[in-house]
Amino acid sequence: MAPVTNGRVLFNEYLPTGYPIPGKTVVYDTSETIDLENVALNGGFLVKVLVLSIDPYQRNRLKAPSDQRSYGSFELGKPIQNFGVGVVLRSENSAVKAGDHVYGQYDFQQYVIVPELPSRIWRVLENKEQIPWSAYVGVAGMPGQTAYYGWKEYASPQKGEVAFVTTGAGPVGATVIQLAKADGLKVIASAGSDDKVEYMKSIGADVAFNYKTTKTSDVLAKEGPIHVFWDNVGGESFEAAIEHAATGARLLECGMITVYNTNETYTVKNLFQIIGKELHVHGVMVAGPLHEKYVDEFYETIPEKIARGELKYKEHVLHGLDKAGQGLLDVQTGKNFGKCVIVVAEE
């Protein structure tokens, strides 16, 4: 078989502030080819990438190393990276065989040679529940893990308490809404459009509102105080949550999308209340010790719940790796409705 094109999404320039521009911040490149039958694997395995995930946190990796705090910059001229699922075409690694479906952090390419299973993040997916592969980068992947690990470790939910979830129509927030409902909490959830509000109600939110037309602090004043806060927004939203937190409330900081594209300029004017209300603020990251602690439990329970229809999810699907730049932009502006997934190839 002749070599085939191996399309790639390359990181083209650092973006200190502002939204990513498709074709400028990242570019789709078709200059490389790959000989699928003969390319040397050197003990690794060759994957045909099926789906790739676009997530808000990737915005931080578009910044220069000098502006980085935590995630590490993408390398200029090289493919950007994120979680995905692919099917193994050939393997020289005993842990993986042709036909296996592997979840991991892939370069944004149509075909990837993986030297080895690099970390506990990577996983050969059995999928005996037969849910769609795309679910494994969403509710059954990193965003679902983020929600599950953070909720299990820090929420300390008590039946009858009140939770407030921001970006409740996104894959993390929507999962948190459902976990909170399952634990018997009253759930307040916000998102940025009326159809997202309807969706949040459909998955169980007791109170759902559009933060663009309704003031968060007004809703919390009426429906709070809140005992658990799941924050994907930061800034004014964090301030409103502190203002309407009950004594001893748990504030789970998972994302601050309001500060990803600008510098952090909002003055949170009530940090002092962290003391008086004895609040607990926790930064939630999916990698690290929480992953070690919860990953097996996660894969044992979540795909099954999805298969049974007990855990719902919604996707914003873009077809073709060349749409990755658009996806990066969509999740920063909130244009996506549900988990943003790039379908790179059918099996």
Q: Among residues 50 and 279, whose Cβ is nearest to its own copies?
A: 279
Element (H, E) at 208: strand 207-210
- Find the DSSP H helices in 103-215: 142-154, 171-182, 194-202
Q: Which two tokens stand for residue 139?
A: 């509710």
CA 224 – CA 163 distance, rounded (Å): 9
**In this structure, which amino acid lies at residue 116?**
E
- The smaller minimum CB distance to its own copies, of residues 87 and 259, is found at 259
Query: Are the CB atoms for 60 and 69 separated by under 8 Å?
Result: yes
86 or 170: CB nearest its own copies: 170
In one-letter notation, the amino acid at residue 303 is P
**CA–CA dist 255, 76 (Å, integer):** 25
φ/ψ of 182, rounded to 5, equals -60, -25
Q: How far is CA 280 from CA 247, 265, 267, 288, in A?
A: 10, 23, 20, 20
Question: Residue 257 is inside which H or E element, if any?
Answer: helix 257-260
- For its own copies, which is the closer residue by CB, 179 or 281? 281
**C-alpha distances out from residue 60 to 8, 191, 264, 275, 323, Å:** 20, 22, 13, 30, 19
Q: What are phi and psi of 11, to 5 degrees?
A: -80, 120
In angstroms, what is the minimal distance from the CB of 56 to its own copies?
11
Nearer to its own copies, 266 or 299 (CB): 266
State the nearest-atom distance from the C-beta of 251 to its own copies, in Å: 8
Tell the smallest beta-carbon distance from residue 255 to its own copies (Å): 7
> Least separation, in Å, of the C-beta of 267 and its own copies?
4
- For strands 8-11 and 26-29, give the pairing: antiparallel
Q: How far is the CB of 259 from its own copies (least distance, A)?
A: 5
- The whole-angstrom separation of Cα 224 and Cα 220 is 5
* Closer to its own copies by Cβ: residue 160 or 276: 276
Whole-angstrom distance, CA of residue 234 vs CA of residue 282: 13
Nearby residues of 283 by Cβ (< 8 Å), 6 or more positions away: 253
Least distance (Å) between residue 140 CB and its own copies: 22
* Comparison of 54 and 284: residue with beta carbon closer to its own copies: 284
| Exposure string over 122-135, b if 16+ CB within 10 A, otherwise e | bbebebeeebebbb
Shortest spacing between CB 252 and its own copies, in angstroms: 10
Binding site for its own copies (CB under 8 A): 60, 69-71, 234, 238, 247-248, 253-256, 259, 263-285, 288-289
Task: State the minimum distance, in angstroms, from the CB of residue 242 to its own copies.
Answer: 10
Least distance in angstroms from the C-beta of 292 to its own copies: 13
Among residues 181 and 277, whose Cβ is nearest to its own copies?
277
* Rounded Cα distance, 189 and 89, in Å: 43
Nearer to its own copies, 31 or 70 (CB): 70
CB-based contacts of 126, cutoff 8 Å, min separation 6 = none
